[in-house]
Structures are given as structure tokens and as C-alpha cells.
């Protein structure tokens, strides 16, 4: 099988977007989606943090904190992105698991670097994101759009009042005037740098949903002490 990746932008490890076609095995993702749905249905977590997370479509820790979700990486064609950013091989635990089903679930324009800075010493100084939808296709479903700017640097974000999740937004004078959208099929993923501006959108019919996983991937010299990681090169877990 010939593997292709539509490389939309590559300016630097902090500013790139790759539409990674066939990054993951679709049959493995179907099994993971089934397991996530079962874990979500069985979850009885009802603390304030879990209720807040659910209100915006984010899976509670009871669902997210499972190493088995990382089984999708064992047969992944990571070379689609590591040939461009070979230093990014350490996948941080846990993943983000999100189901967008209403307006409050949508994430405004932001850079992932803003979230890393907000975490202080628990955030990664260098990180890329792998966004993996768990639908057969993103057509007519909520998805993610990107601003493509080779000169993009880090931007100061605003904090939305009264929000505990999806806190960050951009000042109006920094919001992109144009964006690119790409339809993904099951097994495809977006891989992008920490300064790429992006947001979620929903132009589908009423009731359209999308479940996805997001993985943060860092470098060996930027891991955070005490955190768990999955090493893509060795196929092993360790605690930094």
C-alpha cells in the first residue's frame, strides 16, 4: 500500500500541519471507539470535575486514564510525521477524549502552546498534537479547521470568563480571516505544531456528533518529571 500525507504547511516544528492519511489502522480505531463508548456508558463519576468535563463533551478521567487507548500506536505509520519532526516521539498520558454534540462543546480559536504555558511546570515546552477522529468520516460532522500562516508565532490569548475547560480565545484582531478545512476518513489524523491556530466547528445537521482522541507528543529532552509517556520508537511505557 502506498501511504501519502498531504503536507499543507511546514514552516518549523512549532508551526506545521500535516493531514496524515492512513496514520492508523481503521479496524483498530473501531475497536477503540467501541471500548470508549462502553467505558463512557459505564462511568459513574459524578464529582464536580467530571460534571464540568461532560458539559462540554470531554470524557471524565475515569474514561481517559486507560493505557489501552495507546494500542492504536503499535501499528501506526508514525513515519508520516516523524520524517518531518523526528525528535517528537514521546506521547504524553493521558489522551484527551472529546465528543462534540452542541455549541458549548466547540473550542474557540487558540494555539496549544497557550494551554501548555497555563500548566506551568506541568506543561511541555515543546509539543505537537495528533488529532484522531473516531468516525468513519468527518463529512457533515463537527471537525477542526486551521489557519495557514507560515509566519505564525505565539499569540497572547484571552481567558473566557466563567469557563473551566476550553478557556482560551483570541483577541478579535488576532482571529484569522481565512481557514482551511479537510475531510478525514477513519484512520486519518491531523498532526500539527503548538503555534498553529485552530478551532472546532459544526456545520453539520442538527444532532451531528463527533468523538475524537487527541494526543500530545513531546521530545525526549522536554518530558516532565513524574509524568507517564509512551515511547513511539521503543513501543514502551515509562515514567519520566
Question: Can you give the pLDDT at residue 125?
Answer: 94
Boundaries of every domain in the chain: 18-239
Please choose, from the candidates 177, 171, 185, the residue with its C-alpha nearest in 3D space to the C-alpha of residue 149: 177
Task: Give mean pLDDT, residues 113-141.
Answer: 92
Q: What is the pLDDT of residues 62-116, one digit of tens each?
A: 999 999 999 999 999 999 999 999 999 999 999 999 998 877 778 889 899 888 8
pTM beyond cutoff 0.85? yes
Task: Give mean pLDDT, residues 126-134.
Answer: 97
Q: What secondary structure does DSSP assign to 7-74, as a single string?
A: EEEEEETTEEEEEETT-S-HHHHHHHHHHHHHHHHH----SHHHHHHHHTTBPPHHHH--GGGGGGGT
CA angle 186, 150, 84 (to 5 degrees): 55
The percentage of residues in the chain with a pLDDT greater than 90, rounded to a whole number, is: 61
Max alpha carbon distance in the chain (Å)?
49
In this predicted model, which residue has the larger pLDDT, 65 or 155? 65
* Rounded CA separation 138/47 (Å): 32
Is residue 166 over pLDDT 70? no
Question: Can you give the pLDDT at residue 1?
Answer: 41
86 three-state secondary structure:
coil
Q: Residue 135 has which C-alpha cell?
A: 468516525
**Which runs of consecutive H residues, i.e. helices, occur in 56-175?**
61-64, 79-82, 112-118
Please choose, from the candidates 100, 189, 103, the residue with its C-alpha nearest in 3D space to the C-alpha of residue 142: 100
Task: Give me the chain's average pLDDT, please.
Answer: 89
Q: What is the pLDDT of residues 8-22, one digit of tens each?
A: 899 999 999 999 999
CATH of domain 18-239: 2.60.120.620
Q: What is the pLDDT of residues 185-234, one digit of tens each?
A: 999 999 999 999 999 998 878 788 999 999 999 999 999 999 999 999 99
Q: Residue 49 has which C-alpha cell?
A: 470535575
Is residue 177 over pLDDT 50? yes
Beta partners for residue 146, in sequence order: 180, 198
φ, ψ dihedrals at 62, nearest 5°: -55, -30
The counts of H helices and E strands in the chain are 5, 13
Question: Can you give the pLDDT at residue 4?
Answer: 61
Amino acid at each position: 500500500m502506498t501511504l501519502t500525507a498531504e503536507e499543507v504547511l511546514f514552516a518549523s516544528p512549532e508551526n506545521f500541519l500535516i493531514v496524515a492519511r492512513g496514520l492508523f489502522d481503521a479496524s483498530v480505531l473501531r475497536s477503540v471507539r467501541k471500548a470508549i463508548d462502553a467505558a463512557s456508558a459505564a462511568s459513574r463519576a459524578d464529582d464536580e470535575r467530571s460534571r464540568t468535563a461532560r458539559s462540554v463533551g470531554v470524557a471524565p478521567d475515569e474514561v481517559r486514564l486507560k493505557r489501552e487507548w495507546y494500542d492504536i500506536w503499535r501499528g501506526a505509520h508514525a513515519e508520516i510525521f516523524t520524517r518531518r519532526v523526528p525528535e517528537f516521539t514521546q506521547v504524553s498520558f493521558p489522551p484527551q477524549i472529546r465528543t462534540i454534540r452542541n455549541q458549548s462543546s466547540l473550542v474557540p480559536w487558540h494555539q496549544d502552546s497557550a494551554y501548555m504555558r497555563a500548566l506551568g511546570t506541568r506543561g511541555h515546552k515543546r509539543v505537537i498534537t495528533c488529532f484522531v477522529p473516531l468516525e468513519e468520516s468527518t463529512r457533515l460532522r463537527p471537525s477542526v479547521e486551521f489557519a495557514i500562516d507560515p509566519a505564525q508565532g505565539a499569540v497572547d490569548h484571552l481567558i473566557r470568563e466563567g469557563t473551566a475547560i476550553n478557556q482560551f480565545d483570541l483577541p478579535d484582531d488576532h482571529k484569522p480571516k481565512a481557514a482551511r478545512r479537510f475531510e478525514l476518513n477513519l484512520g486519518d489524523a491531523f498532526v500539527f505544531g503548538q503555534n498553529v491556530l485552530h478551532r472546532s466547528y459544526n456545520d453539520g445537521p442538527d444532532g451531528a456528533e463527533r468523538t475524537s482522541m487527541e494526543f500530545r507528543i513531546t521530545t525526549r529532552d522536554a518530558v516532565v518529571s513524574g509524568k507517564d509517556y509512551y515511547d513511539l520508537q521503543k513501543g514502551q511505557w515509562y515514567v519520566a
